[in-house]
Amino acid sequence: METDSLLTGTVNGASGDYGSWSGSDHRGALGSRRMSYSVARELCSVERDSDDEDLYIQQAVVFIEDAIQYRSIYHRVDASSLRLYRWYYSRICQWSLGLTIAVVLLLAFVERPSSLSVSSDPRNRSPSFEPLCGFTESIEMICLIIFCLDLAVKSYLIGWEELRKNKWLIGYTVVISVSIIDWVLSVSMECDERLRVRRLLRPFFLLQNSSLMKKTLKCIKRTLPEIARYLNPFPSCLNEHAKNGEWELHFRTMPDSLMSLLVQSVGYSIFFITFSVIGTYCLMNLLTAIIYNQFRGYLLVSDQYPFTCCCQYLTNLSSFSLCSFSAVVSFSLPICQVARQYTEVSYMDREQFRKIFDELDKDCIKEHPPLPQYRSPALQRLQVIFSHYYLTVLGNAVALANVVCICTVLVLNSEKSTAERDSCVLEIINLCFILYYLFEMCVKIFAFGWLGYLSYRNNIFDGFLTILLLALQITIFITYRLPNSQWDPSSHGVMSLWEMVRLVNMLIVFRFLRIIPDIKLMALVASTLLDLVKNLRAFAGILVVVYYVFAVFGIWLFEGAIKPPAGMSMECGTYEQLGYWPNNFDDFAAAIILLYDVMIVNNWQAFMDAYSRYTTEWSKIYFVCWWLTSSVMWVNLFVALILEVCLFKHQTYSFIPRLQKNTTYIVPVNNLTAFLHLCRPQQQNFSLC
């Protein structure tokens, strides 16, 4: 269970690196680390002027932002340092630093061996563009200077006591130093060296810049021992038959290899059935369960720690006015609106405080405009009918009927050639449905008003596709006038009638996705997928690091290793017979594609066999390590993360209050959910006046 911040270690309380205070406040804290909020708590217990009040508000703002952004709270908290801190973590500075990291990582595609070629196939590969010596080196040096400035700012903000105990920043210093030394060697050798150590160290810049990525890396690090203990019995399963290569046939997943063994003996079928049941269905699923058991809840517990600090800081302020609280959360207008409800009372309990922070957990709070007012009773009656939910249900039923009609016509035309297909029937059917879609859009605009109609995202989705379908129908009728069955649908205009009808069918099927928000379980799955994309950023970042490191190692080991021989005989199922020539390590882009193929394609042993024949048998270690990292460990970690997000999403929905009828709430799985769970169990009052 993670209870440490990203900046770990102990600090001498008398160092004075965490703000402006008198030395007497710290002489009794030698040897023990003191959190920044405890310092602010002591300062809040004395009489303060307006400048001190502004400083405490700034500290509270920074601590809340640290909790939201997964950042450490161990940094300087004096006024000038806080201004520098907030400027450093401003959007423009962080985007600039992220752009610098992206540039230094992308240099691998341009550096020698360059990936700027049409094809990576060594049989017909054209000469790739090679930049002049000093071009990429100049860009890299600019990036290294920016990293040096970044290191200097971080070192100042956390202080010397924290810097010398922080492994990430020490590693950051070492990586920058080694990169500069290697850069000088490259320039002195006129860019002719083959081994560039700094290319292998570049992914570290991506890791150290993301606090969430560091936490995810700790999760994976905690899971690896269990994976190692689980895989430990596997080497004992190898027997003397492995010496003659018989194991390669046993552990292949290609059907043709398995069938070739059945020719030798029918008894092999018993082995393959047993191996499939035990290996594929039992052991691999057991591995997934073990990884998930270690990974489960770890990110949640890791997220709770900064929120604990934030909650303790805010609840321990002995004199914290409501206007100060409004200033702290001034970045969120909904919070200020809720906080004003407590202006007449002198305290706020923890549950009320949790409800205020509940506003931060909502990405969007949208009040729909009021319905237009009609004076005519007939129009009012029509407005009630067209604004009813049953109209949406009817629209979903009509969309389903349209999809069924399209599928029926396509099945009937599946055995016919393009010239024999009568697209006019399907076109007329689609036209009738599109006219209904247009009618539905118009009556909803009448019932809700133009602004009210656009306030629903489903209506925007339906309206856009309806207008697009109507434009396609008008284009078809302008192009084909009144087509009849004697026309050749495949030879008229820029696009044939059949192609245009296919485009209309695709848009209609895509429009059918409108039913997802109306079905609770489907809406939960869809929202989970969207939140999964947000939560996968750190996970995907570490995957990029792993790809980058293995690709650089592959180029060092196997660049130019495979050269197509003339007049060779190809064995079925080999690298040569399958035409895998473009999958090589001759440049960085080709190396990334090869690693992806090994991760996804089930005959990864074809690559391993080819490189073991063209180089040495030791090359198998590289491919086995990559397969274990990507296909075994990474896929199971991905499944564990999906399960964690899905269960967390379900728990989040369980305590969300009933929403108002005319209000749209979008509640994702994000940071503050951990804070809400944390503050829920206890009811403690803290003063606001």
pLDDT category at 436 given cuts 50, 70, 90 is very high
Pair 158, 74: CB distance under 8 Å: yes
The verdict on 47 and 165 lying in the same domain is yes
Is 512 within a domain? yes
Which tokens is 297 given?
Answer: 């809840």
Put residue 324 in one of left, alpha, beta given phi > 0 → left and psi -120 to 50 → alpha: alpha
Average pLDDT over residues 15-34: 37
The mean-pLDDT minimum among 29-43, 475-489, 537-551 falls in: 29-43
Query: Considering 273, 295, 317, which residue would you say is the last residue of a domain?
Result: 295
The verdict on 98 and 192 lying in the same domain is yes
The verdict on 649 and 597 lying in the same domain is yes
Q: What is the CA radius of gyration of the chain?
A: 32
Q: Residues 6 or more apart from 595 whose CB is under 8 A from it?
A: 547, 550, 551, 554, 626, 630
| pLDDT: which is higher, 352 or 389 | 389
| pLDDT: which is higher, 334 or 133 | 133
Q: List beta partners, residue 366.
A: 664
| pLDDT: which is higher, 677 or 144 | 144
Is 284 within a domain? yes
What's the domain range around 320? 299-369+672-687
The three-state secondary structure class of 687 is strand
Please give the sequence-ordered ranges of beta strands (E in DSSP) within 280-363, or none if there are none. 347-349
CATH of the domain at 555: 1.10.287.70
> What is the pLDDT, as a whole number, of residue 579?
77
What's the burial of 555, exposed, middle or buried (CB within 10 Å: 0-12/13-18/19+)?
Answer: buried
Pair 678, 307: CB distance under 8 Å: yes
Is 11 within a domain? no
Is 9 within a domain? no
Is 478 within a domain? yes
> What is the pLDDT, as a whole number, of residue 75?
82
Q: How far is CA 6 from the centre of its chain?
A: 21
Answer yes or no: is pLDDT of 499 > 70. yes
The verdict on 272 and 408 lying in the same domain is no
pTM, two decimals, is: 0.65
Query: Considering 244, 266, 295, which residue would you say is the last residue of a domain?
Result: 295
pLDDT tens-digit profile of 375-417?
888 888 998 898 888 888 898 899 999 899 888 888 887 777 7
DSSP state of 366: E
Q: Residues 6 or more apart from 403 whose CB is under 8 A from it?
A: 508, 509, 512
The verdict on 311 and 442 lying in the same domain is no
Work out the percent of the chain whose per-residue pLDDT is above 70. Answer: 62
> What is the pLDDT, as a whole number, of residue 82?
86
| pLDDT: which is higher, 659 or 145 | 145
Average pLDDT over residues 487-505: 66
Helix locations, 559-630, DSSP H: 588-600, 605-614, 619-627
The verdict on 193 and 291 lying in the same domain is no
The verdict on 527 and 575 lying in the same domain is yes
Average pLDDT over residues 353-380: 71
Which tokens is 193 given?
Answer: 């060296």
The verdict on 278 and 320 lying in the same domain is no
Which tokens is 30 given?
Answer: 């030698």
Most confident listed range (66-80, 221-235, 266-280, 293-307): 66-80
What angle, 0 to 180 degrees and rounded to 10, lies between the N-to-C axes of helices 91-106 and 135-158? 140
pLDDT tens-digit profile of 571-623?
776 777 777 888 888 888 889 988 988 888 767 778 888 888 888 888 888 98
Q: What's the one-letter identity of residue 443?
A: V
Is 140 within a domain? yes
> What is the pLDDT, as a whole number, of residue 423?
66
What size, in residues, is the chain? Answer: 689
The verdict on 478 and 586 lying in the same domain is no
Helix then strand then coil, % of the chain, to nearest 5: 65, 0, 30
| pLDDT: which is higher, 83 or 277 | 83
The count of domains in the chain is: 5
Is 629 within a domain? yes
Query: Considering 254, 270, 295, which residue would you say is the last residue of a domain?
Result: 295
The verdict on 65 and 149 lying in the same domain is yes
pLDDT category at 142 given cuts 50, 70, 90 is very high
Residue of 684, 54, 82 whose CA lies nearest to 323: 54
Work out the percent of the chain whose per-residue pLDDT is above 90. Answer: 12
Answer yes or no: is pLDDT of 482 > 60. no
Answer yes or no: is pLDDT of 223 > 80. no
DSSP state of 109: G
The verdict on 237 and 272 lying in the same domain is yes
> What is the pLDDT, as a whole number, of residue 244?
45
The verdict on 83 and 66 lying in the same domain is yes
Whole-number Å distance between alpha carbons of 182 and 198: 6
pLDDT category at 138 given cuts 50, 70, 90 is very high
CATH of the domain at 469: 1.20.120
DSSP state of 190: T
Which tokens is 490 given?
Answer: 């495949």
> What is the pLDDT, as a whole number, of residue 442?
92
Is 617 within a domain? yes
